[in-house]
């Protein structure tokens, strides 16, 4: 469970909207994927002056141990925003949680309405009972308390459950929360940016589809909701197309009251190269908000004269298509299975030497050697021609060079 630079930026913006309280709660200890310099620079870029805080390098969370980087602890990150107490809630004392509670089970009475600000760092997608979980989150919050919840919205990273933006929105609407912002994110692998969309439901229409994941690109959902003195936790939504007349009228009234809050923010406009790597989506219920860029990765530069590489088809593990697989995988083998992923990384570059990484591509055939086949063109040539780059098994760890001749 972690707080990426994207999540950190949204938490800082939430702090600007309404300062964080002195005590906050985390659902599990969080790996903050920021160095101290990264965190301070990000806060100042967003016009928030960091406060004095004890500086701790995270040696406790599994994510920080695996990364072996100088990541600051969650206590330090929130301390820079003026928080003095950071308490973790978990089903066991995993990674040093201070409060033991299984949110798959009914919440203990002594924990009801005890939390002012709650950070759920990818918990909802890893619990078996998402309904009980979200109701427990609502019960934990004091009136006026807020939840910041981020989860996976695609089959990346081995989720247990995937809930739609509409599922989350409808729960907070029918339980009369004061405010609810919902973002959907789409991230091109290996790039320096994330596309941001915001849910904007209309009173007299259904919530339209966002659309399926593209290739193996990751989708995410981020929710920021604020409880009201009149909020409940046990109201059950009815999906839009199945509401009767009285249910629809009540929902319209509750959604209208919620939409009286703050508008969705706007982020940076995408560059031409960013759009060439991953175009934006169009959906009535999802407003495009711009891009958020990472401080860790190189920033993309505009392509010149429409030139550069254009990936047409890329397949990882095609040599395993007709072979029996000895171990289950969380991604599939098929022609073009990494096309959009590589396109999001490489489209528009003049040339590249990339060390192929199974952790980025995903492993469709564990314990088997996998080849990589890429068909592409190079823009700006007088007579563009189809090119093929082939890396035999095992491709991971070898160099993909484009153009290769």
pLDDT number for residue 306: 56
Eight-class DSSP state of 160: S
Q: Which stretch of 104-118, 183-197, 217-231, 302-316 has the lowest confidence by average pLDDT?
A: 302-316
Q: pLDDT band at 330, cuts 50/70/90?
A: low
Q: pLDDT band at 298, cuts 50/70/90?
A: very low
pLDDT number for residue 175: 97
Question: In the predicted model, what is the mean pLDDT of the chain?
Answer: 88
Cα separation of 60 and 192, whole Å?
Answer: 27
Q: DSSP 3-state assignment of 402? A: strand
pLDDT number for residue 278: 79
pLDDT number for residue 6: 92
Q: How confident is the model over 197-245, as pLDDT tens digits? A: 999 888 888 888 888 888 778 899 999 999 999 999 999 999 998 999 9
Q: Which residues pair with 224 in a beta bridge?
A: 148, 181
Q: Which stretch of 137-146, 326-335, 370-379 has the lowest confidence by average pLDDT?
A: 326-335
Residues 6 or more apart in contact with residue 135 via CB below 8 angstroms: 233, 234
Taking the CA atoms of 263, 264, 266 and 272 in sequence, report the sign of the dihedral they define.
Answer: negative
Q: How confident is the model over 359-369, as pLDDT tens digits? A: 888 888 888 89
Instruction: Spell out the domain ranges in the chain.
Output: 2-293, 308-402
- Does pLDDT of 63 surpass 90? no
Of 92, 150, 87, nearest to 114 by C-alpha is: 87
Taking the CA atoms of 257, 10, 159 and 333 in sequence, report the sign of the dihedral they define.
Answer: positive
Cα separation of 184 and 164, whole Å?
Answer: 10
Instruction: Name the architecture of domain 2-293.
Output: 3-Layer(aba) Sandwich (3.40)
Q: pLDDT band at 305, cuts 50/70/90?
A: very low
Contacts 24+ apart (CB under 8 A), 102-105: 103/27, 103/127, 103/132, 103/133, 103/136, 103/137, 104/128, 104/129, 104/132, 104/133, 105/132
The two structure tokens encoding residue 290: 């711009």
- Does pLDDT of 280 surpass 60? yes
Element (H, E) at 291: strand 286-293
Total residues belonging to the chain: 405
Q: Which stretch of 39-48, 174-183, 383-392 has the lowest confidence by average pLDDT?
A: 383-392
Q: Which stretch of 14-23, 159-168, 170-179, 181-190 has the lowest confidence by average pLDDT?
A: 181-190
Largest CA-CA distance found in the chain, in angstroms, rounded: 73
Residues 6 or more apart in contact with residue 21 via CB below 8 angstroms: 83, 116, 117
- Does pLDDT of 31 surpass 60? yes
pLDDT number for residue 27: 93
Q: pLDDT band at 405, cuts 50/70/90?
A: low
pLDDT number for residue 64: 79
Q: Bigger pLDDT: 155 or 22?
A: 22
**Helix-helix angle 165-174:245-258, to 10 degrees:** 90
Contact 388, 312 (CB under 8 A): no
Q: Are β-strands 23-27 and 85-90 bridged in parallel, bridged antiparallel, or unpaired?
A: parallel
Q: pLDDT band at 296, cuts 50/70/90?
A: low
Does the N-terminal peptide bond of residue 394 adopt cis geometry, omega within 30 degrees of 0?
Answer: yes
Residues 6 or more apart in contact with residue 32 via CB below 8 angstroms: 2, 3, 8, 39, 58, 71, 72, 73, 74, 76, 77
């Amino acid at each position: 469970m972690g707080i990426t630079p994207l999540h950190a930026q949204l938490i800082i913006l939430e702090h600007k909207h309404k300062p964080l309280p002195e005590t906050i709660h985390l659902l599990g200890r969080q790996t903050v994927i920021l160095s101290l310099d990264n965190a301070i620079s990000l806060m100042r870029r967003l016009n928030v002056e960091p406060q004095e805080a004890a500086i701790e390098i995270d040696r406790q969370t599994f994510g920080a141990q695996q990364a072996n980087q100088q990541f600051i602890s969650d206590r330090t990150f929130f301390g820079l925003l003026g928080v003095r107490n950071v308490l973790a809630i978990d089903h066991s004392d995993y990674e040093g949680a201070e409060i033991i509670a299984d949110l798959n089970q009914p919440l203990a009475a002594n924990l009801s309405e005890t939390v002012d600000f709650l950070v759920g760092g990818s918990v909802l997608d890893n619990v078996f009972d998402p309904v009980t979980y979200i109701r427990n989150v609502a019960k934990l919050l004091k009136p006026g308390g807020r939840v910041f919840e981020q989860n996976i919205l695609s089959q990346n990273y081995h989720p247990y459950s995937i809930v739609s933006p509409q599922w989350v929105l409808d729960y907070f609407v029918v339980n009369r929360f004061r405010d609810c912002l919902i973002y959907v994110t789409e991230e091109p692998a290996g790039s320096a940016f994330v596309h941001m969309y915001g849910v904007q439901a209309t009173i007299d229409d259904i919530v339209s589809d966002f659309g399926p994941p593209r290739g193996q690109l990751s989708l995410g959902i981020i929710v920021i909701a604020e409880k009201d003195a009149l909020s409940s936790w046990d109201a059950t939504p009815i999906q839009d197309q199945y509401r009767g007349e009285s249910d629809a009228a009540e929902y319209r009234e509750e959604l209208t009251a919620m939409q009286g809050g703050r508008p969705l923010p706007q982020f940076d406009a995408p560059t031409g190269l960013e759009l060439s790597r991953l175009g934006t989506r169009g959906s009535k219920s999802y407003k495009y908000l711009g891009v958020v860029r990472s401080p860790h990765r190189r920033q993309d530069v505009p392509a010149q004269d429409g030139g550069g590489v254009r990936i047409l088809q890329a397949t990882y593990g095609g040599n395993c298509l007709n072979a029996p697989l000895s171990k289950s995988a969380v991604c599939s083998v098929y022609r073009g299975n990494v096309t959009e992923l590589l396109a999001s990384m490489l489209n528009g570059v003049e040339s590249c030497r990339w060390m192929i990484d199974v952790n980025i591509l995903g492993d469709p055939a564990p314990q088997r050697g996998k080849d990589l086949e890429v068909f592409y063109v190079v823009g700006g040539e007088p007579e563009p021609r189809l090119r093929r780059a082939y890396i035999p098994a095992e491709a991971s760890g070898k160099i993909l060079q484009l153009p290769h001749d």
